[in-house]
Amino acid sequence: MDFHQIKSIIDKHDKIFISSHINPDGDSLGSAYAMYKYLDSIGKDCIIVNHSPIPEVYNFLNEDNIFQELDGDSASFIKKADLGLILDIGDFYRLGDVAFLVEENDIETLSIDHHAKSDNDLFKNEYIDVKASSVGEILYSFFKEIDQKISEEMMLGIYVAVLTDTGSFRHSNTTDLCHQVAVDAIQMGLDISKVYQNIYENSSISRMKLLGNVIQKLNYDCEGELVWFSLNHDMIKEVNGSNQDFDGFTDFFRGIKGVEVSLMLYDLGGKVRLSFRSKGKYKVSEIAKKMGGGGHPFAAAALVEGEFSDVKSTVLNLMSTYISKFNEDNLS
């Protein structure tokens, strides 16, 4: 599928909902914002609806209340929609309850993503570019290709998407096109300093308390190349926090000198959420896949059923074996 085919699909439908994965991030939210502004500008009847609420740090994107958490009204819209635009999600069921509404009502879907295909790749139409840093970068190219003027609002969404998924243009997935997005944003007059402050300099007291508690309990393995930490509901409750408070922790600990991989294990009680980040030496997606997940080579995740102690033992053994073998194979 190419960009003109994407436009053709959109042009054929009038009632469109936009959705993304559970616990949406900057890429999914920024991309949804940009796409909504585009669809609205061409006269489409559209909404953004997600299984999860918008994180507080992204409320600056929601001054017009265009982001909706799934409820009775948004569910009614979905049931009547003739197209679902699904952004930043490779696994259909990570749509949460939105996925069941799509299935029950046999709604046509168009997925735009930068993740590799998963076993639950159930979208009827899809555009995937695994070389793109973000869906925001894909949308930027899409609008350019179809000669669509990018408004300041659309650019805000694209910039947020690219900024967050490249770690503020620091990660190895940063492309020359990402920097072009930044150039265009500045030239359009976007206050990129304010955007950064909204996202990264807006931490709650509960987040700082939680970060301090986690730092005191960090674990190091593989001769210091692996740092890992665990979280659970009680730790969040102790600081009067929320699940949004540990966003970015895995990236943060990757920055420790000598560390190559950062791993988070979040105990959900019968399930464990794993988040992997690598500086680039080790492809953590290989471990995530073995745990039933996936992602990018240096940023991946998995949701694993099982007791916490068992999952912890399995993933740490896999990481240790992988790192040891990698270093043995690459001895000079």
Structure tokens at 56: 């507080």
pLDDT at residue 294, as a whole number: 85
Residues with Cβ within 8 Å of 218's Cβ and at least 6 positions away in sequence, in order, are 227, 228, 229, 253
Query: Residue 15 forms beta bridges with which residues?
Result: 45
Element (H, E) at 48: strand 45-50
pLDDT at residue 259, as a whole number: 97
Question: Which of 319, 12, 21, 30 has the alpha carbon at shortest distance from 161?
Answer: 30
Q: 3-class SS at 222?
A: coil
pLDDT at residue 118, as a whole number: 73
Residues with Cβ within 8 Å of 153's Cβ and at least 6 positions away in sequence, in order, are 33, 34, 37
Question: Which of 243, 238, 241 has the alpha carbon at shortest distance from 264?
Answer: 243
Ranges under pLDDT 70 in the chain: 119-120, 332
**CA 244 remoteness from chain centre:** 13
pLDDT at residue 331, as a whole number: 77
Query: Residue 262 forms beta bridges with which residues?
Result: 227, 277
pLDDT at residue 332, as a whole number: 57
Domains of the chain as residue ranges with CATH: 3-200 (3.90.1640.10), 205-329 (3.10.310.30)
pLDDT at residue 227, as a whole number: 98
Read off the pTM: 0.87
- Whole-angstrom Cα distance, residue 57 to residue 167? 16
Q: How many CA atoms lie within 13 A of 248 on its CB side?
A: 21
pLDDT at residue 120, as a whole number: 65
